[in-house]
Copies of this chain bind each other. A is one copy, B any other.
Amino acid sequence: MATSVQLSPGRSTAMRKPKAPEANRARILAAAVAEFASRGYDGASMDAIAARTNTTRAMINYYFRGKEPLYLAVLERVYADIREAESGLDVENLEPVEAIRRIVEFTYDYYVDHEDFVRLVVAENQAKGRHMKRSHALRTVNRPIVEMLGRVIARGQARGDFRADADPIDVHMAIAALGMFNVTNQYTFGSLFQRPMGAKGDVDRRRAMVADIILQWLGPQPAG
């Protein structure tokens, strides 16, 4: 018994006890965003999240009641973030064409700069929207960018700049598709075609390209 035997099985590093519930919650949530984005729902481990926050699995369960609720909170958070960012975008004073270009650029950059968001959206789609369905908050997320697009397109149509049958949701979808692909498919596409993509690709050139594509398509139909 004189021999010193280690008693505590867990991590024995002295951990600070914050005693600040809100801060704890926020820290856990941030760690969870990173972990779920990086590893996906199944790949993410509660332990890894705990390790990123100097707390324990039990703590996380205490705050979020389990892995899935935590994941939902993560989704809600990143959607709230993009909604907020979109809200800050002011295009009412720009000419329609310039406004579209601005919106495309904003969107393109947001994806490049927020890979976590993109990866989480993709993960949720890979999960067939399983979790999203259970969240009232997520089912009622509104994305200001679509209404914004609607107003810009209407202005452009009024001036004859844009084709008459342009639909804001279609336009948003095209912008999102072209912008996301660079991030979502960077590994396979980049590897197969030897093109650096995502944040490492030629961001400026490709962002401009997307704007061109959208604007060409939106432009008034040549008679015929």
Contact = CB atoms under 8 A, between A and B. Distances in A.
Interface of A: 2-3, 5, 7-9, 21-22, 25-26, 29, 39-43, 62-65, 77, 80-81, 84, 119, 121-129, 132-133, 138-139, 141, 143, 146, 169-170, 172-174, 176-178, 180-182, 184-193, 195, 209, 212-213, 216-217, 219
Tell me the number of copies of this protein: 4
Contact of A189 (B173, B184, B186, B189): B173
Given A125-B188, A132-B191, A9 B176 contact: no
Chain A interface, DSSP helix/strand/loop, else mixed: helix
Contact of A180 (B80, B84, B127, B177): B177
A209 B128 CA distance: 25
A81 B3 contact: yes
A187 B123 CA distance: 11
A41 B40 CA distance: 10
Contact of A181 (B2, B84, B129, B176): B176
A21 B3 contact: no
Contacts of A42: 39-40, 42-43
A67 to B, nearest CB: 13
A-B complex: 5 closest residue pairs judged by Cβ atoms: A129-B187, A177-B181, A3-B80, A42-B42, A42-B43
A174 B77 CA distance: 30
